[in-house]
Copies of this chain bind each other. A is one copy, B any other.
Amino acid sequence: MRNLRVVVSYDGTRYYGFQTQPGGNTIQDVIQDTIKKLSGEEVHIIGSGRTDAGVHARGQVFNFHTAAAIPVERWAIALNTRLPTDIVIRSVDEVEPEFHSSYSAKRKTYRYSIDMNKFPDVFERRYRFHHPTPLCVDGMRKGLAALVGTHDFSSFTSRRSTKTTHIRTVFEARIDEQDGKLDLFISGGGFLYNMVRVITGTLLLVGEGKLTADDVSVILEARDRSAAGPTAMAHGLNLWEVEYLE
């Protein structure tokens, strides 16, 4: 059995998220069905993490074990010709048997995209949250800086989180601004359920002047979801990159 690592990008608009569900129509279901059509195998693919309904990925990673004789360099093109056009395999390579897309991940980066123009860019409307009034980006940057480091992020995760610890490390974070569009990039060792979306929803309140940048530290210390802002819309979020020690 070979262990294959796959980098996949997808437009999450019409899917119920990455992880398989009883009703189907998830990225995992579609990919597993496609592998079955290709190799005849019933595989279980292991994602680096789930993404929610409507969330996109430029660089999601998964791995799976296969006994198929298909050469490694043929897998990507063979899958892409069978997948719907909103899921594209970017690369496939063979890794050590113990490689695990989730446990082996060292760093994940998410992007959250916002369009502050009065009217949205029609070509990015599925990927960029439209906020048609200006935001104080400097305030958002200051608030975001308060979250870098190792903290208990209980305020910034869904109440439905089942993790035993909410301590996570954010390595770096920044907000790029161009032509009235913001791209928030945040990199860390791992993220809690809804964490990037709750951070973004809170920073939007800072940008609107409803919270100050200093309030973000107070919210962090509260360790209480109700202290933070709303969960930002799914469609602005993109799992940008997952990195591993090679």
Residues of A in contact with B (beta carbons under 8 Å apart): 9-11, 56, 58, 76-77, 80, 85-90, 118-123, 125, 127
Contact = CB atoms under 8 A, between A and B. Distances in A.
Per assembly, the copies of the chain total: 2
A10 B125 CA distance: 11
A76 B122 contact: no
Contacts of A9: 121-123
Main secondary structure, interface of A, reads: mixed
Contact of A125 (B58, B85, B118): B85
Contact of A123 (B11, B80, B89, B90): B11
B11 A88 contact: no
Contacts of A90: 119
Contacts of A86: 122, 125
A112 to B, nearest CB: 15
B89 A119 contact: yes
A208 B187 CA distance: 40
Contacts of A11: 122-123
A9 B120 CA distance: 10
B123 A76 contact: no
Contact of A88 (B58, B76, B122): B122
A123 B80 CA distance: 15
B127 A123 contact: yes
A90 B89 CA distance: 35
Contacts of A123: 9, 11, 56, 58, 127
Contacts of A76: 118-119
A19 B56 CA distance: 34
A221 to B, nearest CB: 37
A243 B119 CA distance: 20
A36 to B, nearest CB: 21
A211 B114 CA distance: 44
A236 to B, nearest CB: 13
Given A11-B123, A76-B118, 16 more contacts: A9-B121, A9-B122, A9-B123, A10-B122, A58-B123, A76-B119, A77-B118, A80-B119, A86-B125, A87-B122, A88-B119, A88-B120, A88-B122, A88-B125, A89-B119, A90-B119
Contacts of A119: 76, 80, 88-90
